Amino acid sequence: MRDNLPELSFFESFFIWFNKEKREGYYATPLYLYKANTKVDFENKGVTVYLDKNYKTPKEEEGLLFPGNAFFPYVEKFGLLLVRFLNANLETYQSAYETFFFAYGFEILKEIDEDYTFKLKGKYENEKVYLEEMEKIYHDLQYKIQEIQREMITCINYVFNIENKEDLKGYTPSHRFAVYLIKHKGQVFTYMKNDNIKRDSYASRYLELSHKDDKELLEDLKNNPTLISMIDTHESKDLASVCYAVLEELVKTENNSIKKCQNCGMYFIPNVRLDEIYCDYPKENDKTCREKGAFQAYNERLKQNKALSEYRRIYQVKSNAISRNKDNKQMKKEFDEWKKISKDKVNKLKQEQLTEDEVYEWLIENK
């Protein structure tokens, strides 16, 4: 994807870039895996990081501990870094690691404090000393990290009008983000100062395209407009700057938004529709708020629609009767016939081909 990022810098900084057509973000940084694991996509040259509390860091001779680089970057959903930070539990080192830093490492903190020091993992005496030092560094910087989180929450609430304030309605997120930049709200000035943008010069596609002649290249660019778009890389060691860089890319792209889940209160980026109100983060029993919300909404519709409510009641009664009389083939046959006709009636009700009263009356007569 890129060949203009110096390899040595991966030990010192954090790089991030975006593909808005694919709705993906890519980043490269030293990432010393601890309770984190990776899935490697060799075909598309990408690495996905996920939390795995049973994972043990591999021995150094088994492979690199920092696989994210220009040619094999870490890959995630566009904007995920920002919403992860908004939702991160920063109360303890453990909770902060498991909700944010497991995926992005600690290099992203270097600009927070001039006294912050971080040696290469190999420079520590052993794994135990390394982890103890990371925990100490986090505790030293914790209050500053929490300040940045509070600032970003305030910014996101303003830019995406999370609280539905009347005086912010009628303006787009890009309008409101521009106000943040112009008025220098929060630490946005550090974003301008500490975000080092590496301009794309097509170098990343040189090996892929250089063997073609001019005519072939012109036709390729004509038929595939995405080839001509250049993707700039942001380099920073400032957590706030990285968050603002992601936010700027979000507000510059159509059909992107950050919402607050009406069930759990966590920030999320809608997958399909901008009016989505539930997130898709797994909760109890691996059920997401979206799944729970759909179930709750369905139950509400049942309560409000007497035909649908009656259909579910009768269906449950008949199904229970079949379970108690498994050898009664005639009962099973009659149930299958009723189920087929009643489902057709319900579908026609949903398509407004039948009224609620018509379906309800049929169900009462044929229960």
pLDDT of residue 122: 54
In this prediction the pTM is: 0.69
Q: Could you report the per-residue pLDDT of 89-107, keeping only the tens digit for each?
A: 999 998 999 999 989 888 7
CB-based contacts of 41, cutoff 8 Å, min separation 6: 47, 48, 75
CB-hemisphere CA count at 13 Å for 34? 22
CB-hemisphere CA count at 13 Å for 170? 3
SS3 (DSSP) at 29: coil
Q: Exposed, middle or buried, 253 (CB in 10 Å: 0-12/13-18/19+)?
A: middle
pLDDT of residue 336: 86
pLDDT of residue 3: 39
Q: Could you report the per-residue pLDDT of 184-204, keeping only the tens digit for each?
A: 676 665 656 677 777 665 545
pLDDT of residue 229: 59
Residue 311's pLDDT band (boundaries 50, 70, 90)?
confident
For the stretch 338-342, contacts whose Cβ atoms lie closer than 8 Å and that sit 24 or more positions apart, written own/partner, are 338/366, 339/315, 341/366, 342/311, 342/314, 342/315, 342/366
pLDDT of residue 187: 66
pLDDT of residue 250 exceeding 80: yes
Asked whether 161 and 169 are in contact (CB, 8 A), the reply is: yes
Instruction: For residue 195, give the nearest of 108, 102, 285 by alpha carbon.
Output: 108
Return d(Cα 220, Cα 228) in angstroms, integer.
9
pLDDT of residue 227: 59
What would the mean pLDDT of 345-364 be, rounded to a whole number? 82
The whole-angstrom distance between residue 305's C-alpha and the CA centroid of its chain comes to: 36
